[in-house]
């Protein structure tokens, strides 16, 4: 029986989850020099944390590499030309964090529908002020980017009685199981403004690629209803944040619930902090108590498949970036 494949584990921080790798032959390091002569033996790179430069250096130093796995789902900060054009398989953490992100999207919808900000402010001021709230059943949600996260959102809002529209690069045919009963209609990217104009809530769950950068900007905000709420659980730069701040400040849309931003952390002087129609989550909507454990367990399952020669999950189309 051949030896189990050696894994180079790129980790900028010494998280306790790394101890879960004890049964797998691996070398832990923060830089390519930490791996010394082991790079020639390595078949796998597990990018737990760290920079693209370190990943690229380890990749270029490992001539027998067959697979790279990223703990994260988003890959816009990791891809480099040599990896994209190579035959090395790339997988990511898609699906590990989707449930929690779906819950955040639902929470943001309810935050605006029930005006929870007003409730909290009134409570802090000991003010008894009755006001009308919105029922979300029957309202329309548009999902921009209908992948695993988008489906997690759809499952949850559908259970609340909401109508769902979805934007997808390649909409499924009606016979495709992905079409399912959840989505009332799919739209192509060039139809985005048509979809947005029908939505009370818009959830952005698209990956960041050259095609999706600033996918939502002035023209898209102009197409939205005045009561629309924009929620971003994908990648910050998919939305033109300067344009978003303008429409929010001018109350041209109702509000925004954001977990991701153009620059993170948000600079202290950024005007978005002072907007009273924005719910800000510091990119932690998927940081559950077990999120790192779940990410490691997923890699361990992937490694077992790889060792046995079985198909891997979450294989990335590298030229597309997701």
Domain count, the chain: 2
Cα angle 197, 205, 177; round to 5: 90
Residues 261, 114 share a domain: yes
pLDDT, average across residues 39-65:
97
Domain that holds residue 15: 6-96+289-308
pLDDT, average across residues 3-26:
96
Residues 138, 19 share a domain: no
Residues 265, 171 share a domain: yes
Are the C-beta atoms of 209 and 203 separated by less than 8 Å?
no
Are the C-beta atoms of 108 and 257 separated by less than 8 Å?
yes
For the segment 241-251, what is each residue's pLDDT rounded down to a tens digit? 999 999 999 99
The answer to whether residue 320 sits within a structural domain is: no
Are the C-beta atoms of 61 and 26 separated by less than 8 Å?
no
CATH code: domain of residue 175? 3.40.50.720
- Give the pLDDT confidence score for residue 174 in this predicted structure: 62
For the segment 91-144, what is each residue's pLDDT rounded down to a tens digit? 999 999 999 999 999 999 999 999 999 999 999 999 999 999 999 999 999 999
For 205-229, the three-class secondary structure string (H helix, E strand, C coil) is CCCCCCCCCCCECHHHHHHCCCCCE
Binning pLDDT at 50, 70 and 90, where does residue 177 land? low
The answer to whether residue 317 sits within a structural domain is: no
- Give the pLDDT confidence score for residue 179 in this predicted structure: 58
The answer to whether residue 132 sits within a structural domain is: yes
- Give the pLDDT confidence score for residue 1 in this predicted structure: 46
Residues 134, 167 share a domain: yes
The answer to whether residue 126 sits within a structural domain is: yes
The catalytic residues are 235, 264, 283
The answer to whether residue 195 sits within a structural domain is: yes
Residues 258, 109 share a domain: yes
Residues 6+ apart with CB under 8 A from 181: none
The answer to whether residue 318 sits within a structural domain is: no
Domain boundary among 261, 280, 299: 280
Average pLDDT value for the chain: 96
Residues 19, 49 share a domain: yes
The answer to whether residue 204 sits within a structural domain is: yes
pTM score of the predicted model: 0.94
Residues 104, 80 share a domain: no
Binning pLDDT at 50, 70 and 90, where does residue 178 land? low
């Amino acid at each position: 029986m051949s030896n189990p494949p050696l894994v180079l584990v790129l980790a900028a921080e010494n998280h306790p989850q790394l101890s879960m790798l004890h049964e797998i032959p691996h070398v832990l390091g923060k830089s390519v020099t930490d791996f010394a002569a082991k790079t020639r033996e390595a078949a796998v790179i597990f990018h737990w944390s760290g920079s693209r430069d370190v990943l690229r250096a380890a990749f270029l130093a490992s001539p027998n590499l067959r697979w790279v796995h990223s703990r994260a789902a988003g890959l816009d900060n990791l891809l480099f030309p040599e990896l994209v054009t190579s035959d090395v398989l790339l997988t990511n953490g898609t699906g590990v964090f989707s449930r929690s992100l779906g819950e955040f999207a639902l929470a943001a919808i309810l935050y605006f529908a029930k005006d929870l900000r007003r409730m909290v402010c009134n409570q802090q001021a000991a003010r008894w002020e009755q006001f009308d709230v919105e029922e979300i059943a029957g309202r329309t949600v548009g999902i921009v980017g209908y992948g695993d996260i988008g489906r997690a959102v759809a499952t949850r809002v559908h259970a609340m009685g909401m109508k769902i529209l979805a934007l997808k690069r390649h909409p499924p045919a009606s016979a495709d199981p992905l079409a399912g009963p959840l989505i009332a209609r799919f739209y192509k990217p060039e139809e985005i403004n048509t979809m947005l104009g029908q939505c009370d809530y818009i959830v952005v769950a698209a990956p960041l690629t050259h095609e999706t950068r600033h996918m939502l900007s002035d023209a898209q905000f102009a197409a939205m209803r005045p009561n629309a709420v924009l929620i971003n659980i994908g990648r910050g730069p998919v939305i033109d944040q300067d344009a978003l701040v303008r429409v929010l400040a001018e109350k041209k849309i109702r509000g925004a619930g954001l977990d991701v931003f153009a620059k993170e952390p948000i600079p202290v002087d950024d005007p978005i902090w002072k907007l009273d129609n924005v719910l800000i989550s510091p990119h932690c909507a998927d940081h559950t108590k077990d999120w790192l454990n779940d990410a490691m367990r997923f890699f361990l399952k992937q490694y077992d498949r790889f060792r046995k020669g079985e198909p891997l999950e979450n294989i990335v189309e590298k030229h597309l970036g997701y």
